[in-house]
């Protein structure tokens, strides 16, 4: 079975992260983040975003999302998100669990993005005490459908949030893919557009076992250290997580890896798009291709060993990562053609 396009977390650990782990692997250092590499990694985040942000590392994107949403919301609050959003569809209710009851409200939009008009209607729809009070907007960038919000698409959502006492959270499991696809700075795509908290993904970029929670709104970070510990997300040998972030953020590694996934997704979409009966369903802004493939092609590809999913977006989802090669793309397209 070939898992190349099944997800961006089927890939191995990238050489940069692996070498950083190796280089950190000697001697004894303070535990639980009280070490020089962790201080360096947090400082690297502040330089990367050009902001005095608070940074915490956790093990999974589910933890990053649920714990950051729990820093915003209590149990009587609601979180406005898109239908496809990971926090609604793929976290087994973790945001509700860690907030002790907050509910996710689905707002409409296209291509995995929230429509500000829909969000606005949802905020205004119920203000009585018998219904959850909206307290957060959560968007994903890049989205679950492989599209990317521009800063001028984030700003209206942030303005709307802040005008009504809500905070804006970004699920950035694929934040670097989003960043690499837009010619703007990390600051432009986050706090300058009004983002309060970012779940910043390491795993799908190629790192081992880590996501960062980045608070641009530092008031929200006040109790996060305790929240993380209570949730079992405080890594005792933190330096091995920090070493990877330090390497990834202070070299061109994040851009190289994100661009590789984005470029090859575009080439895959172009290759498949030329075949009869194939329909590309979403704009390919980042490292995902959503395509409606003829049934014969789908079964032919599966017979030839390719593994991919069709659980969201109404078609087949093909993901590219730091590890995907031009040869992988060519082989997949050749097998798709041969299956017709």
Ligand X SMILES: *Cc1c(COP(=O)(O)O)cnc(C)c1O
Residues forming contacts to ligand X in the complex (CB under 6 A) are 60-62, 65, 86, 140, 144, 171, 173, 203-204
Q: How far is CA 5 from CA 188, 199, 252, 260, 329, in A?
A: 30, 24, 24, 13, 9
CB of 64 to ligand X, least distance (A): 7
Residue number, 35 or 285, with CB nearest to ligand X: 285
The least distance separating ligand X from the CB of residue 91, rounded to whole angstroms, comes to 7
- How many CB atoms are located within 10 Å of the residue 25 CB? 10
Minimum separation from the CB atom of position 9 to ligand X (A): 6
Q: Quote the CA–CA distance of 63 and 139 in Å, as a whole number.
A: 16
- Phi, psi for residue 192 in degrees, rounded to 5: -70, -25
Nearer to ligand X, 62 or 262 (CB): 62
Q: What is the helix (H) or strand (E) element at residue 289, kind and residue range?
A: strand 288-292
Decide whether 60 or 78 has the Cβ nearer to ligand X.
Answer: 60
CB of 78 or CB of 287, closer to ligand X: 287
The half-sphere exposure of 184 on its side-chain side, counting CA atoms within 13 A, is 18
C-alpha 254/C-alpha 221 separation (Å) is: 25
Smaller CB separation from ligand X, 192 or 204: 204
Q: Cis peptide before 142, with omega less than 30 degrees from 0?
A: yes
Closest residue by beta carbon to ligand X: 61
Q: Which is nearer to ligand X, 151 or 172 (CB)?
A: 172
Shortest Cβ distance from residue 172 to ligand X (Å)?
8
Question: Least distance from C-beta 87 to ligand X, angstroms?
Answer: 7
CB atoms within 10 A of CB 162: 15
The CA distance from 273 to 280, in Å, is 6
Output the smallest distance, CB 121 to ligand X, in A. 24
């Amino acid at each position: 079975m070939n898992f190349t396009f099944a997800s961006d977390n089927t890939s191995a650990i990238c050489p940069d992260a692996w070498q950083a782990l190796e280089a950190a692997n000697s001697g004894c250092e303070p535990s639980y983040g009280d070490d020089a590499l962790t201080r360096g990694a947090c400082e690297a985040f502040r330089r990367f975003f050009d902001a005095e942000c608070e940074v915490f590392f956790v093990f999974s994107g589910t933890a990053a999302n649920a714990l950051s949403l729990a820093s915003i919301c209590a149990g009587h609050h609601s979180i406005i998100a898109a239908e496809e959003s990971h926090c609604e569809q793929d976290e087994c209710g973790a945001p509700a669990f860690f907030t002790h009851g907050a509910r996710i409200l689905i707002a409409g939009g296209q291509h995995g993005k929230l429509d500000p008009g829909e969000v606005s209607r949802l905020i205004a729809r119920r203000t009585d005490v018998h219904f959850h009070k909206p307290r957060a907007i959560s968007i994903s960038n890049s989205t679950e459908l492989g599209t990317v919000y521009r800063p001028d698409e984030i700003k209206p959502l942030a303005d709307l949030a802040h005008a009504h006492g809500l905070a804006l959270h970004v699920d950035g499991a694929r934040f670097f893919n989003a960043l690499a696809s837009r010619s703007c700075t990390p600051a432009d795509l986050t706090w300058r557009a009004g983002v309060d908290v970012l779940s910043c993904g390491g795993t799908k970029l190629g790192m081992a076992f880590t996501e960062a929670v980045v608070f641009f709104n530092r008031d929200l970070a006040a109790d996060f250290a305790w929240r993380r510990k209570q949730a079992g997300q405080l890594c005792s040998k933190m330096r091995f997580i920090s070493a990877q972030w330090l390497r990834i953020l202070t070299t061109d590694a994040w851009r190289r890896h994100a661009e590789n996934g984005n470029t090859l997704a575009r080439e895959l979409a172009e290759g498949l798009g030329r075949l009869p009966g194939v329909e590309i369903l979403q704009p390919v802004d980042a490292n995902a291709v959503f395509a409606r493939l003829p049934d014969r092609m789908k079964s032919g590809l599966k017979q030839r060993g390719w593994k991919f999913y069709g659980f969201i977006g109404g078609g087949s989802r093909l993901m590219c990562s730091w590890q995907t090669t031009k040869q992988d793309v060519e082989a997949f397209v050749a097998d798709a053609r041969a299956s017709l």
